[in-house]
Structure 1
Amino acid sequence: MTELFTSNLALISQRWPAVASKLTLANFDHFDANLVTGQNQTISVNGIQLSSRHNRLAEAQLFIEQLPKNCVDVTVYGMGMGDVISLLCDDSTVNDSFQAPLRSELQTITVCPLNYSLFALLLCYTDQSEWLNDPRVYIESELTQNVTNGQYISITPDLLLIDDCNAVLRDLLVYENNRAYANQRSQDNESIFKQRLAANRHLLTKDADAAKLKDHYSKPKAYVIGTGPSLEQHYQFLATERLKPLGQRPLFIAVDTALTPLISHGVVPDIVVSIEQNITREHFPKTFADDINLVYFPTVPTDVIEWWPGPKYNAYSQHTKYDAINEQLTKLRLFSNGSVLHPAIDLAVHLQASDITLFGSDFCYPNNKTHAHWPDGALGLKAAHAKHWVFNGIGEKVATELSFRGYLRSLEHYIRTKPHVAFYQSSLSSARIDGASFKECK
């Protein structure tokens, strides 16, 4: 360690001994770290710069401008080169081109290290005493994974270099960082949504409310079946379970793209849920029983709904864009945050299921496959293009999509709101779902 590390650590030891203890044990020999020089100097770690090398303070200012002007308490996740925290502590003019916002109103600045090895590296080569001495600063030693702390800034390089133990928190922060972009995309598709709503209005009037399914199905146990690759492990189990009389077996609820592989293996679900605006008849079997119930959102193409051979029910997302139509044509509102699995699971809860087992609900690419049955790329995604990862049920890192991580964390939040329901995962190759236990299904 360096003299800078020793002096930085002395300050930390006085104020946050638990943090100092972790830093003392941290090792960064596994990092490929080097100094990068432009107009400013920064550190590159594994090819990722901890800050801009052209104008570090201007970059830090951009991060700070995310905060509301009346903010009095702020949390900083990660630290980059420490510039954001230093600017938050500084009320004076910091260069000739701009002035840091007056932050004398800040009462607390909570710093959350996302990787202690990275933190130790920073302390070895930079002087962070300015903000370490600020009485408003507090360094959090134990991070909460499933909730963010009030008004916050998340430092992008630290998210990329995050310690594995903070992977859940990373997913939440990235999800929140992308929320505005996702909302904008939703607004951009608003005209398409309105057109589809108008095209399906006659079906919303004619077909029954999905809430009516409670008159026919109200069971304590349900199997909710997605199209993840792990579904292939359970065809035989599900086929055997399906042979039992309805009164002796769980309710079978499948997502739309799971119907073809299920039918081909003798598994006939009771209910199929579809919400995707780009779903086509080619995504379904050419023929299947006419007693399978369809629950659809009005975003589903009209020709798919009209073609469906069995009973049809409709429902809405809980998104505010459905509020107006719901006042005119009231329907069951189901939880949905990007994945069709969300409303399928919420439907099971609505139908009084208190014991729900998930099949093919992977949120990742086990064995580098995107889906059960469907060839790689057939449903739009290719495993080889995945740039992100999650932990599976045995603690291995498995490739996934950024959107899948968002769906996973949204589901985990939903599960926390349903303490009366027991959730189970049927495969350890699936992404680990916090709040769901593993149940072996053979």
Structure 2
Amino acid sequence: MPATILPKNFEVISRRWPDLFDVLMATNENTVNVDVVESTLTINGIQLTSSYDRVAEAQLQIKQIPSHSNEATIYGPALGDTATLLLQNKALRKLYVVILNKAIFIHSLQAIEDMQWLEDKRTQLLLATKNSEISVPFCVNPAELKLADNDGEQLADKVQIELNYDFVNKTHQQRQKHQCDPIQDNLAFVKQDADISTLPKATHSEIFIAAAGPTLEKHLNYLALHQPFIIAVDASVRVLLERDIIPNIVVSIDYTAYQFFKDINPQLLENTTLVYFPNIESQVLTYWPGPRLCSYSPTPMYKELIDKYPKIQLYCAGSVVHPAIDLAVYLQAKTIVLLGTDFAFTYNQSHAKTNNKTKASHELALGNAQESVINGYGERIPTMASLKSYLRELERYILKHPKVNFKNGSLDGAYIEGTTLWNN
């Protein structure tokens, strides 16, 4: 329609950001359920802002931006209160406002007749895209993190991870008190065991990662028949061995890891190499019948060991899947096939099942899954905040390794950006 008859907010956007305007006009705004409640909107039952005092809420959020900042970013414009307040700061030269849900933004533009912050020359309006990264300093309209659309969800998760960083770091520091005892107990192993530099580079251009997600079960027949080069995470070992699948390498990093090997005949693993971090439960190292190799992650917990006993480090962002994949990259795999890397409660279960289907010590009840994530079919499936964090960090890792072909064995688990489907 002609710009002259557009409502004020839409006219401004069409004039200042014509490409973004075209995207908004192509968006189906009816993908969300919207109600007006006092001075705010509820989206799918979630209040977009405070209905009691929107300005007070916005003032609280913008405290995340130092007053001397020349630039700032807002994730989720909501009803524009944070943008309006930030633009009152004369020191600010650029304000980036990132749209996390296009349909919600359209409703906001219709709810507030004249959003003057859109006219401010310092404002830059942006759409969240896949692989968008966080800009600092930033503030957030919190409801939008929960309400992000498919294009904005990945960035919303990264923002949430950043917001959680101090809390998670403090939690890890508390846990380290329990993890330092195994490190001291394992010093003799750390001193004598070599590192991954002694491993021959893979003669197989294709390396399989056997994680412990439920979709691993779909690939057991293939693995048993073809016996490819497998790097397994510790929690998947029992499932593999029950099908006579012997992994080439097992990666274990958890200070409670012995539960994964308890009651397994060690002779089954005598030709399998264990790659471990020093905080692993000591019983695993005394149990292990095959070669052992020590590695570190770049964490302060290992700083003294890294200085005293230098070893090749492996990437880790909370999940054992990360160092397993980084090891495959270190071994110069051209293609990495991810099996069981679900990052979700696929089929409403947390882990692949053993033959006898009895509940394993590491399995989690579905009630732990308070979040959701998109699977390879575009469907929402249950997950946990920690699993989403591991997923997003893996996607960042994949983006940094464009020469490696990453394939995902199943569409049933969480969709992993940067992977293509592996067909066996």
- TM-score, shorter chain, exceeding 0.5: yes
Kept in 1: contact 2:237–2:260 (CA 8 A): no
Contact in 2 for aligned 1:11/1:129 (Cα 8 Å): no
Deviation at 1:84, TM superposition (A): 0.5
Give the corresponding residue for 1:175: 161
Give the letter for the 1:440 counterpart. N
Q: How far did residue 70 of structure 1 move?
A: 3.1
Q: Does residue 1:304 correspond to 2:305, yes or no?
A: no
SS at match of 2:207: strand
Which residue in 2 is equivalent to 1:159? 145
- The SS at the match of 1:327 is helix
Say if 1:81 and 1:290 are closer, same or farther in 2 by CA, change over 3 A. same
SS at match of 1:306: helix
1:7 Cα offset (Å): 2.5
- Aligned counterpart, 2:322: 342
1:325 CA displacement: 1.0
What is the one-letter code of the residue matched to 1:225? Answer: A
2:8–2:114 Cα contact (<8 Å) kept: no
Is the Cα contact below 8 Å between 1:64 and 1:84 reproduced in 2? yes
Q: 1:373 to 1:126 in 2, by over 3 A?
A: same
Asked if 1:393 corresponds to 2:373, the answer is no
| 8 Å contact from structure 1 (residues 8, 123) kept in 2 | yes
8 A Cα contact 1:171 1:405, kept in partner: yes
Letter in 1 for 2:10: L
Question: Residue 96 of structure 2: SS of its match in structure 1?
Answer: strand
Partner of 1:65: 63
Partner of 1:51: 49
Deviation at 1:16, TM superposition (A): 2.3
Shift of 1:144: 5.4
Distance 2:422 2:29 in 1: 39
Paired with 1:259 and 1:142, the residues of 2 have a C-alpha distance of 39
- In structure 2, C-alpha distance between the alignment counterparts of 1:285 and 1:417, rounded to whole Å: 40
Question: Is 2:215 the partner of 1:230?
Answer: yes
C-alpha distance after superposition, 1:133-168 (max 9, x if no partner): 222112124645331234322221111111222222
Partner of 1:207: 193
CA distance in 1, matches of 2:403, 2:313: 20
Aligned to 1:321: 301
Matched with 1:121 is: 107
Structure 1: tracts of 5 or more residues without a match = 91-102, 243-249
1:367 — aligned with what? 347
SS at match of 2:269: coil
Partners of 1:21 and 1:327 lie apart in 2 by 56
| 3-state secondary structure, aligned to 1:390 | strand
Q: Are 1:376 and 1:383, in contact at CA under 8 Å, matched by a contact in 2?
A: no
Aligned equivalents of 2:120 and 2:260: distance in 1?
A: 63
Q: What is the CA deviation profile of residues 286-326 of structure 1, one whole-angstrom value per residue up to 9, with x for unaligned ones?
A: 21232221111111111222122222221111224322211
Contact residue 349 and residue 364 of structure 2 kept, 8 A: no
RMSD between aligned alpha carbons? 2.3
**1:254 pairs with 2:240:** no
Shift of residue 53 of structure 1? 2.6
CA distance in 2, matches of 1:70, 1:49: 31
Tell me the distance in 2 between the aligned counterparts of 1:350 and 1:26.
43
Letter in 1 for 2:93: Q
Question: Residue 353 of structure 1 aligns with which residue?
Answer: 333
Residue 286 of structure 1: aligned partner: 264
| DSSP 3-state at the match of 1:358 | strand
Aligned pair in 2 of structure 1 residues 31, 281: CA closer, same or farther (>3 Å)?
A: closer
Distance 1:423 1:20, change over 3 A: closer
SS at match of 1:165: coil
Distance in 2 of aligned mates of 1:127 and 1:34: 17
Question: Could you tell me whether the CA contact under 8 Å between 1:78 and 1:114 is conserved in 2?
Answer: yes
In 2, the alpha carbon distance for the partners of 1:142 and 1:275 equals 35
Corresponding residue to 1:108 among 71, 78, 94: 94
TM-score (norm 2): 0.90
Query: Which residues of 2 match residues 5-24 of structure 1 at below 5 A?
Result: 6-24=7-25
Question: How many residues are aligned here?
Answer: 415
1:247-300 CA deviation, whole Å, 9 max, x = no partner?
xxx422101011101000110111111001122245445212322211111111
Match of 1:135 among 82, 106, 121: 121
Q: How far does residue 27 in structure 1 lie from its aligned partner after superposition?
A: 4.5
- Scaled by the length of structure 1, the TM-score of the pair is 0.87
SS in 2 for 1:330: coil
Task: Identify the residue that residue 180 of structure 2 maps to in structure 1.
Answer: 194
For structure 2, the 5+ residue unaligned runs are none
Contact 2:100 2:153 in 1 (8 A): no
Counterpart code for 1:416: L
* Contact kept? 2:406, 2:419, Cα under 8 Å: yes
C-alpha distance in structure 2 between counterparts of 1:231 and 1:434, whole Å: 19
The Cα shift of 1:5 comes to 8.2
- In 1, distance between residues paired with 2:204 and 2:409? 19
Identity across the alignment (%): 33
Q: Is the 8 A contact 1:259 1:284 kept in 2?
A: no
Cα–Cα, structure 1 residues 236 and 156, in superposed 2: closer, same or farther, change >3 Å? same
| Cα contact 1:218–1:352 (8 A) shared by 2 | no
